[in-house]
Chains A and B, each alone.
Chain A
Amino acid sequence: MVINSNINNVKTKTIGEIFSKDPKIICRHVDVFYGDKQAIKDVSIDISSREIISFIGPSGCGKSTFLRCLNRMNDTIDTCKVKGTILLDKDDIYDEKIDVVPLRAKIGMVFQKPNPFPKSIYENVAYGPRIHGLSSSKEELDFIVENSLKDSGLWQEVKDRLNSPGTGLSGGQQQRLCIARAIAVSPEIILMDEPCSALDPIATAKIEELINQLGKNYSIVIVTHSMQQAARISQRTAYFHLGELIEVGETKKIFTRPKDKQTEAYISGRIG
């Protein structure tokens, strides 16, 4: 699909800067329905290259739903319908010609609960490259696994037990393993759905640091219940409420002087 010149000419209720100079993903007028229920209402937003953007908002505000639209994870839910345009590098990802397999290789995902496969640490990381045929030899695969584990800060901890089960690691390590698994297929974007909600504060801090480091090479979209987490790690923050994107802006601005009353009330703990 050809990007039309009016892509930045959007009528939206959203307050703040939804546009980006160097957009990786462009979402325009996205609606999501679960059966008859509308979960996302007319969301338009850009996600830049190499930025960390966080989605915050009360439970049920649609932030996770919207996140799952970005790599079509919602396809697995039969009743879910997505309308509007989501462009990845100017290609409509909901185009019928687009196959979700390469799409999801480009857009990695990390989930709320650490979910390593019940296989060895090595196999967990090697799985993605293997099914996508990213390596032609054992050495290449070893290299990818080692690099991914290094990038996820896990290499030092697991290099001597790559063959032990991934499920035997601690929660934080498991989550970092999941991140290693996601980056092993060299994605451009990593979606994270509350990656720290099942972790203790130290493990959380390690993941946050990792996200910060990864933000230099990937676009990271993170959904979080913790406003503090959004504040700590993201460059931009988007506030969702009842399926609508209320406000987007630089995290500094959102957390020091939000423009919208609802945003202010939410981040200052006046509405839940």
Chain B
Amino acid sequence: MSNEHILSSFDDDLKKLNKNLLKLARLAIEQFVNSIDNFSTQNIEEIDKLISRDKNLDDLDEKIQQLGFEIIALRSPQAEDLRRVISALKISTIFERIGDYSRNISNRTKALCEISSDDTPGVNIGKMGLVTQEMLEDVIIAYNDKDSDLSVKVRDTDVVIDKMNTKLYQEVLASMSRNKKNIVSGTHILFIAKSIERVGDYVTDIAEHNYFLINGKPLSDERPKADKTSLYGID
């Protein structure tokens, strides 16, 4: 069976959609990785540049939405094509969101730069970022190669970030209760960690969409959850 449509312009459209989505994915990863790097280097100039670049992602997402819209209107895609277009639209939104979180991280990093504090436990942010970055890269590979197993693996990796986040939460809480000066910086760090954790969740979503795109059914297994921060204070 041929993988191509008889109507080649349909293929052209789908390729264009895919190309733009991958471009957006690369931009989003870049933004995310840079925001984590900036957290450690605390280069204000770089941070400002990063924040201004977020607009590109928004524009690209807009373009992808328009493209998907047109494909649905003009080509009436069916079956895998339909899943692909719908997934692409959703995934595109997610990458745009990831870009937004990267900007958030950068905003808070910028704020942190202005508050000098010696006692902030920021080491794990870098590690969390690294794991999330790996997940992001894997999920793009999974999307590109239609690799359903890798998608599942990416989804299951999210638990690692959740655990790291929970651990970091405890540390920052401890640090803030040790020293009241740390409250401002600690809060920023908590939000940064939360953002990274959200990015991890979004990557999981992408993995799930990808799984649906490949297999035509939702990835329904109970997924492991390890973000216990919401439970703090209950007991």
Contact = CB atoms under 8 A, between A and B. Distances in A.
Given A252-B70, A256-B69, A256-B70, A232 B75 contact: yes
Contacts of A233: 7, 9
Contacts of B9: 209, 212, 232-233
B6 A205 contact: yes
Nearest to B70: A252
A252 B75 CA distance: 11
6 contacts: A205-B5, A205-B7, A212-B8, A231-B73, A233-B7, A255-B74
Contact of B6 (A206, A251, A256): A206
Given A228-B76, A231-B74, A209 B7 contact: yes
A208 interface: yes
Contacts of B76: 228, 231
B191 interface: no
Contacts of B7: 205, 208-209, 212, 232-233
A208 B8 CA distance: 9
A1 interface: no
B166 to A, nearest CB: 46
Contacts of B75: 231-232
Contact of B74 (A206, A209, A252): A252
B165 to A, nearest CB: 42
A232 B74 contact: yes
Given A255-B70, A255-B74, 17 more contacts: A202-B6, A206-B6, A208-B6, A208-B7, A209-B6, A209-B8, A212-B7, A212-B9, A228-B76, A231-B75, A232-B9, A232-B10, A232-B75, A233-B7, A252-B70, A252-B74, A256-B73
Contacts of A205: 5-7
Interface string B52-84: 000000000000000001100111100000000
Interface of A: 202, 205-206, 208-209, 212, 228, 231-233, 251-252, 255-256
Contacts of B69: 256
Nearest to B74: A231
A231 B76 CA distance: 9
Looking at chain A's contact residues, the main secondary structure is helix
A215 to B, nearest CB: 9
Contacts of A256: 69-70, 73
Interface in B4-61: 5-10
Contacts of A232: 7, 9-10, 74-75
A154 to B, nearest CB: 15
Nearest to A255: B73
- Nearest 5 interchain pairs by C-beta: A205-B6, A231-B74, A255-B73, A256-B73, A209-B7
A228 B8 CA distance: 16
A228 B73 CA distance: 9
A15 to B, nearest CB: 19
A22 B46 CA distance: 48
Contact of A251 (B5, B8, B10, B74): B74
B82 to A, nearest CB: 14
Contacts of B70: 252, 255-256
A151 to B, nearest CB: 15
Interface string B157-190: 0000000000000000000000000000000000
Interface in B83-130: none
A252 B69 CA distance: 10
A192 to B, nearest CB: 16
Nearest to A204: B6
Contacts of A251: 74
Contacts of B10: 232
Interface in B197-229: none
A251 B70 CA distance: 10
A232 B69 CA distance: 14
Contacts of B8: 209, 212
A212 B10 CA distance: 11
B69 to A, nearest CB: 6
